[in-house]
Structure 1
Amino acid sequence: MHFKALLPAVAASNQKDITLGVLGAFLGLFATEWACQYLLGIRPHWLIAPMGASAVLLFAAPASPLAQPWSMLIGNLLSAFVGVCCAKLIGNIALASALAVSIAIALMLLTRSLHPPGGAVALTAVIGGPAISSLGFEYVLVPVAINSIVLLLLAIAYGQLSGKRYPNFAASTSSHRTRDPEPSQRLQLDASDVTFAVAQQPHLLDISQQDLQQVLRDAQLHALKQQIETVRCRDIMSQDVITISAQDTGAVAWHKLSTHRIKALPVIDAQSALLGIITLHDLMIDPLTGQPRAASTAQRLVSELMTTAVTTAQPEQSILDLVPLFSDGGLHHLPIVDQSGLVGIMTQSDMVAALFQWAIRAQHTQAETRTKV
């Protein structure tokens, strides 16, 4: 065995996660104890020890598949039932304990509800003493089911209030409200690829396939960034920008868009400061109502039609930072500004051309390397 195998395997947590985990576990267990003992009047077994282990998972490791609602609730209930059965049917406490935990593990694995505290729930049913033994199968409902449900509801509420995602599930949504994945994800790892890779692993991975897929995507993006981060906006932006004044009319905007065969005009003042942007969409669709604009648009001022909340970039910014804005964000034009004001503009066409040229250079570099080898 290598010495490094003895070192910590869990990734370091930041201060925020530590604070939220500690506070969540305290509030969760305290509230569960209070609810079961005083609100529901459960005595004397109002809180069982395995709930402490469940609290560790629900509040300190809420992204773990072992901490999700199905695993927590079904795992604990199955384990409690198995524990009571073993305690009643097997006279030898050592044998009953071992069988209770092992059968509970088997059932949790078969039902995809593995929850480590479930082993302690099963064991408690066997060695919990007269107070637990006297409950019989009532132990499954009170306190196990009640404790589990209360703690689970508190964890869900705490996740909503603290901003931590629990349960750990995010529905796949598209910015265009279609079933297609976002453009940035169409040539990346597919969920089926991750499913296949996980199935090949000899051991259980304590990470959801959704989170694993995101980690792999982030790693790919980081590797790509190392290769092309030297390409800056100033290298590929258009500098001879066709602009318009806020005091011009919609007719002037239509004329400039048509003459220059472009789809957006940055709106600037006399000092080249960016005031907004006006696009074909602004001229045709009212952003507040979503309805087509009237024919009188041509007579209205640009200041009435333009979009003032404009996403911008800086000349020294890496173009890789802009990929999500153009692909998933749906932007078609991105003004480039510095302290002096508008200095350029980037479009989807500029981005595609730049990435295409980079791909060609990378291919040539690989070919040269193979030739030298």
Structure 2
Amino acid sequence: MAQPHDDAHKSGILSKIRLFSPILAGATLKERLIGCLGALLGICVTGLVCGMAMGNGPHLPLIVAPIGASAVLLFAVPASPLAQPWPIVGGNTISAFAGVAIASLVSDPALAIGLAVALAILVMSLTRSLHPPGGAAALTAVIGGAAVTRAGFWFPLVPIALNSLILVLIGMAFHRLAGRQYPHRPAATPVNTHGTADPPAALRAGFTADDIDAAIARLDETLDVSRADIDALLREVERQALARRHGALTVDDIMSRDVVTVHADATPDEARRKLLDHDIRTLPVLGDESRLAGTVGLRELATAGPGAALPVTAAATARSSDPAVSLLPRLTDGTIHAVVVIDDAERVIGIVSQTDLLATLARSLSHTARTGLMAGHGQGI
């Protein structure tokens, strides 16, 4: 039997684990250390550059406290809608203007500080520049002291706007060097490439945009994530769940190995003849040393005139060890009909068409249904 002191020891360990666990999804220790380094560089360089620009000298940094909060968002959660360039520069600057305006109109300090922050939230919301440090910028404009009062309506521009702009430029450069995407671009929503009113194939099954809106409304809370990112996250969850259920099936299991190809020096007529003779829609194009140079299909060949070079386009590729279901997003986007399988030397070793994947999924679903039915009979259902 476990002793009370053992339970207390385990409880202490669990509490420590929870203490150091990330509060945000995806916030690994590596990401946090990168964020710390970015904030260090961003704040130091911003203060020193602004100090030199205003003639204070490199030993006198010119920076305001709200920029520290902006740095937390910019470097620790760069994908947040609140951490994008316009919210940082616009939110801080607009809020500072709101604070200066309130300070000039309201003499009661207690009332002025409340009105400044409230007005800042309103104007940031209306201008799509909501940025939490903006509230601090508005507050600073009211209680910043004699220097801020003397600056008047110059305060939102120097140092607030100047600090914010330099910080954002440093953030862009830092995130690029760190291999991060900034400004954050939400995943593109699939579109129907056929010019009809139907939703794209990837969006016809499962949840819809209305479902996401209804779920957000039911939560009745403001989320620090864009609706487009929620959509992308949920679709990735679906793909991961599908991969988990069918993860044992690889591209190597379903690919065609006797691949019909064409050399990059071939004529459009030769490529067209191969496509029609074999009743296929995509031909891998081979370049030097038989390496994959791209693909060509009837769509591209339709615009190739007599004597024209082969119209090669970029190929969708995969490795033989990839999960078969990982090809679903590409083969259901309405533009790609086949994925070319290549080895480490970029030589073609197979191809997976939409038909190959559809037949595989159909067999998988049939097997799942039979297994479930047999299990049901075994339980007396």
What is the TM-score of this pair, normalised by structure 1?
Answer: 0.72
Correspondence for 1:53 among 47, 69, 89: 69
Matched pairs, number = 353
Deviation at 1:221, TM superposition (A): 0.7
Question: Is 1:194 aligned with 2:212?
Answer: yes
Correspondence for 2:358 among 342, 352, 355: 352
Question: Is 1:37 aligned with 2:51?
Answer: yes
Distance 1:245 1:230 in 2: 32
Structure 1 contact 264–280 (Cα < 8 Å) conserved = yes
Question: Is 1:319 aligned with 2:332?
Answer: no
Deviation at 1:131, TM superposition (A): 1.6
Deviation at 1:80, TM superposition (A): 1.6
The AA in structure 1 aligned to 2:327 is L
CA-to-partner distance for each residue in 1:213-264, whole Å, 9 max, x for gaps?
221111111111122223344544456x366898xx9899888766554456
Aligned to 1:149: 165
Change (3 A) 1:229 1:131: same
The AA in structure 2 aligned to 1:203 is E
The AA in structure 1 aligned to 2:241 is A
Distance 1:306 1:139 in 2: 57
Structure 1 contact 264–278 (Cα < 8 Å) conserved = no
Aligned to 1:114: 130
Structure 1, gaps ≥5 residues long:
298-303
Distance 1:307 1:115 in 2: 43
Distance 1:177 1:236 in 2: 27
Structure 2, gaps ≥5 residues long:
1-14
Aligned to 1:229: 247
Distance 2:344 2:183 in 1: 43
- Pairing 1:236-255 to 2, within 5 Å after superposition: 236-238=254-256, 241=258
Deviation at 1:60, TM superposition (A): 1.9
The AA in structure 1 aligned to 2:135 is G
What is the TM-score of this pair, normalised by structure 2?
Answer: 0.70
Structure 1 contact 264–277 (Cα < 8 Å) conserved = no
Aligned to 1:169: 185
Structure 2 contact 317–339 (Cα < 8 Å) conserved = no
Question: Is 1:26 aligned with 2:32?
Answer: no
Deviation at 1:51, TM superposition (A): 0.8
Q: What percent identity do the matched residue pairs reach?
A: 37
Q: CA RMSD in A?
A: 4.7
The AA in structure 2 aligned to 1:227 is R
Aligned to 2:223: 205
Change (3 A) 1:196 1:110: farther
Change (3 A) 1:192 1:71: farther
Change (3 A) 1:49 1:262: closer
Change (3 A) 1:157 1:357: same
The AA in structure 2 aligned to 1:37 is G
